[in-house]
């Protein structure tokens, strides 16, 4: 179905930002059905590639209390891997590939690194939301997530960002959300969200 919206110029990168369990991974797969893009995910690239010794280690990933639950903070070694993740996406773009990315951008510094790394790249930035009750239900179903951590991180993930489009996965299937995103290519505001954040036209502080 890569003929969708052929009359509209496709972005180089579709960057999905949302808290854990918001449905980003399924949405990247649904977008691949419609678009000939390669897919990058934080679970595959970051968490599954990190050495075991980095977990519960201040240089890697540490669980800290936030908003009544536990969330992950990143140490110096983990941040190197995050920056490598960003640059791997840029390398794909430089090779002429379209890329769809899922991320949970917890800090303004990590967002700024995306802005720097993807300078000159057309990025369609999408905020992926989900109701708190549904997030908790998904965490329980997954069995590999700290219950309440997704809700606790919502303000950090979205508080420093502005978007080209925002979608809600609470009850809408990923196939329909992918259709919304593709349709959004032709209706988004210019300059793009990344251009506005990069240029300081509209910055949202943490």
Domains and CATH numbers, the chain: 13-42+98-199 (3.40.50.300)
* Rg value, the chain, Cα: 16
Q: What is the pLDDT of residue 1?
A: 45
Q: What is the pLDDT of residue 143?
A: 63
The residue ranges of the chain whose pLDDT is under 70 are 1-7, 66, 143-146, 200-206
Tokens of 194: 């990344």
Between CA 136 and CA 23 the distance in angstroms is: 13
Q: What is the pLDDT of residue 7?
A: 55
Decide: 181 and 31 in contact? Cβ < 8 Å: yes
Between CA 175 and CA 167 the distance in angstroms is: 12
Nearest of 64, 46, 177, 48 to residue 110 by alpha carbon: 46
Q: What is the pLDDT of residue 182?
A: 97
- Give start and end residues of each alpha helix (H) in the chain: 24-34, 42, 76-94, 108-117, 132-142, 149-152, 154-158, 174-184, 193-199
Tokens of 83: 């920056």
Give phi and psi for 20, each to the nearest 5. -55, 140
88 exposed, middle or buried (CB, 10 Å; 0-12, 13-18, 19+)? Answer: middle
- Its pTM stands at 0.89
Q: What is the pLDDT of residue 154?
A: 92
CB atoms < 10 A from the CB of 3, how many? 6
């Amino acid at each position: 179905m890569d003929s969708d919206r052929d009359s509209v110029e496709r972005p180089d990168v579709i960057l999905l930002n949302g808290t854990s369990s918001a449905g980003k991974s399924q949405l990247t797969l649904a977008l691949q059905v419609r678009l000939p893009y390669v897919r990058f995910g934080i679970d595959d690239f970051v968490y599954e590639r990190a050495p075991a010794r980095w977990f519960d280690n201040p240089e890697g990933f540490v669980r800290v209390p936030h908003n009544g639950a536990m969330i992950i903070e990143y140490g110096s070694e983990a941040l190197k891997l995050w920056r490598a993740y960003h640059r791997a996406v840029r390398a794909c773009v430089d090779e002429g590939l379209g890329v769809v990315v899922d991320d949970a951008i917890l800090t303004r510094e990590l967002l700024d690194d995306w802005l720097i790394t993807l300078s000159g790249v057309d990025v369609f930035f999408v905020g992926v939301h989900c109701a708190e009750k549904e997030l908790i239900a998904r965490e329980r179903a997954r069995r590999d997530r700290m219950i309440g951590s997704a809700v606790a991180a919502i303000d950090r993930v979205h508080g420093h960002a502005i978007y080209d489009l925002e979608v809600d996965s609470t009850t809408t299937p990923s196939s329909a959300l992918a259709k919304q995103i593709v349709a959004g290519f032709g209706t988004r505001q210019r300059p793009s969200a990344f251009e506005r954040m990069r240029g300081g036209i509209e910055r949202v502080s943490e």
